[in-house]
Amino acid sequence: MSRFHDEILEQPEVASGLIDKSGPTMDAIGARYRELRPRGVVIVARGSSDHAALYAKYLFGRRNRALVSLAAPSLFTRYSSPPSLEGQCVIGISQSGESPDVVAVIEEAVRQKAMTVAITNNKDSKLASVAELVVHLHAGPERSVPASKTYTASLLALALMSQAIDPDDAFGADLARVPSSMAGALKREVALDELAPALSGPRAVVLGRGFNFSTAEEVALKLTETSYMLARAWSIADFEHGPIALVEPGFPVLLVGGGGSVQADLEGIAARLVDYGCHVVGLFDGTSSPPGMEAALVHDSGLPEELTPLTLVVLGQLLAHRVAVARGVDPDQPRALHKITRTW
């Protein structure tokens, strides 16, 4: 069908392999973190990896009570004014490990004697050679330009790190169920045909909140990369603070949600958008869909809200693929894009 589709299907196996192979690395990260007791966590990433960093902001904030900030790489490169990283745990996420600006932040963190961790699918990369601790994603070659398996592997690596820092038996059991939960999501692909017509382009809004704000960002990026739609993601709270003014009857909106503490927010915005006459569709895990929507796929993975981004983004990737095919676009080779983007 396409390399992008094939690599989406590989994700349960990749997740299982990462869980099986990363134990010693995670133990080392957890021990080092508890030894140093960092004042906070700073994460540097670009593209899809930046959305994984956004996920970590919520995950480490809630589970580990860590204050998480996302680095501005240009401060380290273009402006040559790196902030103090003393006492921080600095994490660089890059599937290729060759993004110069991500490497530059980790190099500066090493110079400042901060704890450093690289998350990458290339254990021989520049990023891996610089960082103190390296999480190898073991995802195998990712040949399609839009990331799929390296994104979910990055999410899972961050969740495994969170567990290593503050172990919890229940969360550990949930992590062990991630591969089978992702496999269950893959079986729902055909049901996505009900959502695809609302996203026929040329524009759309994708909304989420909390842990799945990152999912909204990633699904919007996938729709943009693979189908050339002008898809924009917002947190529901931010959307209601101004951008909601752009909606009108027939405007396409995709909601993503995994239940939990923000479920009422999804229900509220769905009702409001339905009243405005928008084409409202949704991807949901572990919860029923809000009433009145044009179409929704509800998949109950049994995972806690903290881990539903791993199943919901799989559904989002499959949806983006189906929309691309319907629009006659080759999802493997988006125009003007390359697999490795070297920004500085």
**Structural domain range at position 116:** 3-176
Are 344 and 78 in contact by the 8 Å Cβ rule? The answer is: yes
Residue 3's nearest CA partner among 141, 98, 95, 97 is: 141
CB atoms within 10 A of CB 230: 12
CATH of the domain at 292: 3.40.50.10490
Task: Encode pLDDT of 142-151 as tens digits.
Answer: 888 889 999 9
Please report whether residue 254 resides in a domain.
yes
**122 within some domain:** yes
Q: What is the pLDDT of residue 244?
A: 95
Are residues 321 and 189 part of one domain? yes
Same domain assignment for residues 195 and 316: yes
Instruction: Write down the mean pLDDT value for the chain.
Output: 94
Same domain membership, residue 234 and residue 203: yes
One-letter identity of residue 258 = G
Flag whether 62 is in a domain.
Answer: yes
Domain presence at residue 335: no
Q: Any bridge partners for residue 134, and if so which? A: 118
Same-domain status, 9 and 140:
yes
Residue 338 has pLDDT above 80, yes or no: no
Distance CA 106, CA 101 (A): 9
For residue 113, is it within any domain? Answer: yes
Give residue 201's pLDDT: 78
Instruction: Kindly state whether residues 150 and 261 are assigned to the same domain.
Output: no
Whether residue 169 lies inside any domain: the answer is: yes
Looking at the structure, do residues 103 and 216 belong to the same domain, yes or no? no
Of 176, 191, 218, which one is at a domain's C-terminal end? 176
Domain termination residue (choose one: 176, 192, 210): 176
Residue 234 in any domain: the answer is yes
**Is a pLDDT exceeding 80 seen at residue 332?**
no
Give the list of residues 6+ apart from residue 88 with CB closer than 8 angstroms, or none: 38, 39, 40, 41, 42, 109, 114, 115
pLDDT tens figures, 231-287: 999 999 999 999 999 999 999 999 999 999 999 999 999 999 999 999 999 999 987
- Asked whether residue 132 falls in the same domain as residue 197, the answer is no
pLDDT at 197: 92
Q: Are residues 75 and 188 in the same domain?
A: no
Q: What is the pLDDT of residues 17-75, one digit of tens each?
A: 999 999 999 999 999 999 999 999 999 999 999 999 999 999 999 999 999 999 999 99
DSSP SS3 for 46: coil
Indicate whether 95 and 58 sit together in one domain: yes
Residue in 85, 218, 233 with CA at minimum distance from that of residue 155:
218
What DSSP element (H or E) covers 206?
Answer: strand 203-208
Q: Is the residue at 332 inside a domain? A: no
Q: Quick one: 162 and 222 in the same domain?
A: no
Q: State whether 301 and 264 are in the same domain.
A: yes
**Has residue 138 got a pLDDT over 70?**
yes
**One domain, residues 187 and 171:** no
The label of the residue with tokens 């509800």 reads 298
DSSP at 45: E
What token pair was written down for 202?
């040329």
Task: Flag the least confident range among 152-156, 192-196, 265-269, 322-326.
Answer: 322-326
Report pTM.
0.95
**Helix, strand, coil percent content, the chain, rounded in steps of 5:** 50, 15, 35
The pLDDT value recorded for residue 344 is 58
24 vs 20: CA distance, rounded Å: 10
Helix (H, G, I), strand (E, B) or coil at 88: strand
Confidence (pLDDT) at 334: 67
Q: At 337, phi and psi to the nearest 5?
A: -115, 155
Number of domains in the chain: 2
Share of the chain above pLDDT 90, in %: 88
- What long-range pairs does 236-244 form, CB within 8 A, spacing at least 24? 236/207, 236/208, 236/209, 236/262, 236/265, 236/266, 236/269, 237/209, 237/265, 239/205, 239/207, 239/269, 240/269, 243/205, 244/272
User: What does the alpha-carbon distance between residue 124 and residue 136 come to, in Å, rounded to a whole number?
Assistant: 10
* pLDDT band (50, 70, 90) for residue 200: confident
The residue among 157, 176, 195 that closes a domain is 176
